[in-house]
Amino acid sequence: AQSVTQPDIHITVSEGASLELRCNYSYGATPYLFWYVQSPGQGLQLLLKYFSGDTLVQGIKGFEAEFKRSQSSFNLRKPSVHWSDAAEYFCAVGERTGGFKTIFGAGTRLFVKA
Amino acid sequence: DAGVTQSPTHLIKTRGQQVTLRCSPKSGHDTVSWYQQALGQGPQFIFQYYEEEERQRGNFPDRFSGHQFPNYSSELNVNALLLGDSALYLCASSLVGQGFSYGYTFGSGTRLTVV
């Protein structure tokens, strides 16, 4: 079965510093991969997605992610973090079995310090 | 363009009771998925509805059931509530023809507390 692992429960970075959130997945075929962000009390918002092609994908809010098949990873990066980026970040893998189902990791909480 | 609308936003129920949560998908979307998000956890897939039928189901007991209406809106029903059912219930809509192309659009969720 497909699974997603986010090794870091929470991360704290200083405003203006770079950010990398880790994600590892387990999937037999070429995965559909996503990063979502969730602000407190809110639903999830799609940041970016990878299906195929260029392994470096750009998303909204200045985020990017790199797909590395050899490492089964899809890490999220941002060169300079803003205080408004503080939120919960979820990596997810899409599974196509009849319909389309998305499986989420447990999430990484990002704290931004001034 | 309205996004996904869920109601109610908060709900408190007693163990053993039944609850119905509602979701209106984003305009133009025809598929609704329901997720349960316990505190500190990622969303867990409950089921997905398309063309008024349950198309996929996650690892949830039969106490969890759903329905999709001709206007694509959906309900999630939970019977015989347990304390462990306390969670944020998220509705996500999509367009089946797009597959994963645009991901899901999520609602803000219904916070269910079982006491």
Amino acid A42: pLDDT:
80
B95 vs A6, which has greater pLDDT? A6
Which residues in chain B are contacts of A94 at CB distance < 8 A?
Answer: 100
The mean predicted confidence, pLDDT, of chain B is: 93
Which residues in chain B are contacts of A46 at CB distance < 8 A?
Answer: 102-105
Is A46 in contact with A36 (CB distance < 8 Å)? yes
Secondary structure (3-state) at B85: helix
Tokens of A90: 């979820």
The mean predicted confidence, pLDDT, of chain A is: 92
Amino acid A113: pLDDT:
96
Q: Residue A23, class by beta-carbon neighbours within 10 Å (0-12 exposed, 13-18 middle, 19+ buried)?
A: buried
- Residue A31: cis peptide before it, omega within 30 degrees of 0: no
Is A47 in contact with A63 (CB distance < 8 Å)? yes
B56 vs B16, which has greater pLDDT? B16
A101 lies within 8 A of chain B by CB: yes
Low-confidence ranges of chain A (pLDDT < 50): none
Amino acid A1: pLDDT:
72
Is A34 in contact with A46 (CB distance < 8 Å)? yes
Q: What sign for the dihedral angle of Cα A101, A102, A105, A106?
A: negative
**Host H or E run for residue A81:** none
Residues B98-114 have pLDDT tens digits of: 767 777 899 999 999 99
Interface touch A44/B108, C-beta < 8 Å: no
CA distances from A102 to A65, B99, B109, B112 (A): 18, 11, 17, 22
| CA-based nearest distance B109→chain A, Å | 6
Amino acid B110: pLDDT:
96
Amino acid A52: pLDDT:
84
Which residues in chain B are contacts of A98 at CB distance < 8 A?
Answer: 55-56
